[in-house]
Amino acid sequence: MIYYIQILFTGLLYYFENDVIVSTALSKLHLTAWGQELKTANVEFEEVFQLRNKELTSQPDQNVKDVRNAATENYRRLIDVLKAFNTINPNGDYDKLLKEINGFVLN
């Protein structure tokens, strides 16, 4: 979505520079500097966007099923540890924490 907005800005900036009526109006309204600022910001965004895309595409592919399975395994380990602490020190704090965690997971 953001990239499409950037493309729209590119088109708008094209008119700022190449349409005689628009560029004349910008000049008369003393908005030429503002148009240049938009152009500079657009170029900077494009550079950052491309760097981020290269970074993302260079990362190894992750299988969503594997990630979900690992998260489930870690969740179960955490619950087991909290239950063990609750057995050792049954003061009610761990029961409350377990309910809160399960509330997040189940909702």
* Residue range 29-73, pLDDT digits in tens: 999 999 899 889 888 988 998 898 888 888 777 788 888 899 999
Output the pLDDT for position 73.
93
Is pLDDT above 80 for 11? yes
Residue 59 — φ and ψ, nearest 5°? -75, 145
What average pLDDT does the chain have? Answer: 86
In angstroms, rounded to a whole number, what is the distance separating the alpha carbons of residues 92 and 82? 11
Does residue 83 contact residue 98 with C-beta atoms inside 8 Å? yes
Output the pLDDT for position 30.
94
Output the pLDDT for position 1.
60
pTM: 0.49
Does residue 86 contact residue 94 with C-beta atoms inside 8 Å? yes
Higher per-residue confidence, 3 vs 17: 17
